[in-house]
Amino acid sequence: IKEHHSKGSQLFVKLDTDTTTGEVRISVVGETFRDIVHVALPILPASMCPNVPRITLADIDAYVTCSLADHVLLVDVVIPPATVPIRAIIKTFHVPTDGKMVAGHAATVVDPLWEAEILSSLPPHPNVMPAPLAFITVADHETSTDIARSEEERFVGMVLPFFPGGEAWSSSLESGLRHCYEFASGLLHIYSHGFFVDDIAKKNTVLSAPPPNDRMIVIDLERVSKYNNQDGDPAPEVGGHWVASMQGGQLHYSHSDVRTDKNDTIRSELAAMPEAVERLDVFNVGCVLSQLVQCSVEFPWMERCNYDYIHIAGPKMHSHTPTERDSQIPSAFKDLVRRCCAYDPRDRPLLKEIVEVLKQWA
């Protein structure tokens, strides 16, 4: 370990058990960023976000926890010219589980750079993760006869602000409705600047501070190729119920009776149709809104739902008894959630309208 150790290191260590003695042996595979994945790290152009400070692994004063996710680390880090460490988040890439780069994994190493560029391009908004505080780099040790290239750096990850409020939860209906407005406002800001959020989910938000002095922040703009709805069932388009196309410069939907699984392809199919992407994503938004406020919503075309305590389908639609919470939720909010989760994508409101409706509970 001493051989590999230097400040800020992330050592990749394997534990092996001796089959004869039962003893556990430790072997150091290497330093993750400097050894294992170095050759796959993207070059960070000097022209990219020149106002964002560049720091090295040595500026990481301490790793506080690595349990947030395998590529999201809570750290104490020094960002010059400051000399005192601050608590912050480092977002890097999904580290190979066996300590080796394999075919196809190198592409994911570039994703944090893509997200960093988006966050740095967006104007500030109170409900969107701010621009990176710094980029973490390592020197490019590749052999090169180009003097300029020899001075280039490879991108390890970005330093982001740490918000101590934790995961979003709403102890009261009032705060839940406010969180819904803040959530939708953050998304509208992102979409209105030409970007999308591939994984719209309640878990991809955070509270800026512990309640009641909190605000909801959309935190994850990571690129995801597959469709996912962590707060409900897939949108009908994903199951092949609807096929989108452009006809005469207008978005057109045609109904289909052929059922197919488009989780892997729907985003690429709709990529050239921004409105279709937004209408797809609004379905996820509706599911998040229903979860934040615990608002029941019906899905008449389904036999059952993943979250069947709050999402109603099949036989339960005839026996569902509204809860006391349901009776307290404003009818305008219930109607909005129902429209967001509509079967026909054309019946779903766009983000701008959603924010306008939710503004009354801001």
Return the higher-pLDDT residue of 291 and 145: 291
Same domain, 18 and 118: yes
Burial class (CB in 10 A: 0-12, 13-18, 19+), 85: middle
Per-residue buried b or exposed e for 272-299, using 16+ beta carbons within 10 Å of the residue's own CB = ebeebbbbbbbbbbbbbbbbbbebbbeb
Residue 123 has pLDDT above 90, yes or no: yes
Residue 148 has pLDDT above 60, yes or no: no
Same domain, 189 and 128: no
Domain holding 235: CATH number?
1.10.510.10
- Point out the domain boundary residue: 134, 161, 188: 161
Q: What is the mean pLDDT of residues 287-293?
A: 96
1 assigned to some structural domain: no
Residue 335 has pLDDT above 60, yes or no: yes
CA–CA gap between residue 110 and residue 34 (Å, rounded):
16
Q: What is the DSSP letter of 358?
A: H
Q: What is the DSSP letter of 130?
A: P
- Residue 65: band (very low, low, confident or very high) from pLDDT cuts 50, 70, 90: confident
Return the higher-pLDDT residue of 146 and 179: 179
2 assigned to some structural domain: no
Return the higher-pLDDT residue of 272 and 21: 272
Same domain, 116 and 201: no
**Which structural domain, as residue segments, surrounds residue 298?**
173-361
Contact between 314 and 302 (Cβ < 8 Å): yes
Same domain, 282 and 316: yes
- Point out the domain boundary residue: 140, 161, 182: 161
Q: What is the mean pLDDT of residues 109-115?
A: 82
Same domain, 198 and 121: no
- Residue 116: how many CB atoms within 10 A of its CB? 24
pTM: 0.89
Q: Looking at residue 101, what is its pLDDT?
A: 67
Same domain, 120 and 256: no
Helical packing angle, 351-358 and 331-340, nearest 10°: 170
Return the higher-pLDDT residue of 230 and 67: 230
Q: Looking at residue 5, what is its pLDDT?
A: 62
Residue 106 has pLDDT above 70, yes or no: no
167 assigned to some structural domain: no
Q: What is the DSSP letter of 345?
A: G
203 assigned to some structural domain: yes
126 assigned to some structural domain: yes
Same domain, 66 and 186: no
Among the ranges 34-43, 64-73, 238-247, which has the highest mean pLDDT value? 238-247
Q: What is the mean pLDDT of residues 277-300?
A: 96
CA–CA gap between residue 235 and residue 335 (Å, rounded):
18
154 assigned to some structural domain: yes
Same domain, 101 and 59: yes
Return the higher-pLDDT residue of 292 and 223: 292
Same domain, 180 and 322: yes
- Residue 143: band (very low, low, confident or very high) from pLDDT cuts 50, 70, 90: very low
Same domain, 323 and 228: yes
Q: What is the mean pLDDT of residues 13-42?
A: 82
97 assigned to some structural domain: yes
Range from 126-135, 301-310, 329-338 carrying the lowest mean pLDDT? 301-310
- Point out the domain boundary residue: 139, 161, 183: 161
The proportion of the chain whose per-residue pLDDT surpasses 90, expressed as a percent, equals 62
Q: Looking at residue 233, what is its pLDDT?
A: 96
Q: Looking at residue 323, what is its pLDDT?
A: 79
Burial class (CB in 10 A: 0-12, 13-18, 19+), 354: buried
Among the ranges 28-32, 156-160, 322-326, which has the highest mean pLDDT value? 156-160
Q: What residues contact residue 148 under an 8 Å CB cut-off, 6+ apart?
A: none
Same domain, 137 and 276: no
Contact between 190 and 196 (Cβ < 8 Å): yes
The proportion of the chain whose per-residue pLDDT surpasses 70, expressed as a percent, equals 91
286 assigned to some structural domain: yes
Return the higher-pLDDT residue of 112 and 177: 177
- Residue 147: band (very low, low, confident or very high) from pLDDT cuts 50, 70, 90: very low
Q: What is the mean pLDDT of residues 253-280?
A: 96
Q: What is the mean pLDDT of residues 190-218?
A: 95
SS in 3 state form for 1-48? CCCCCCCCCCEEEEEEECCCCCCEEEEEEEEHHHHHCHHHCCEECCCC
Same domain, 65 and 205: no
Q: How many structural domains compose the chain?
A: 2
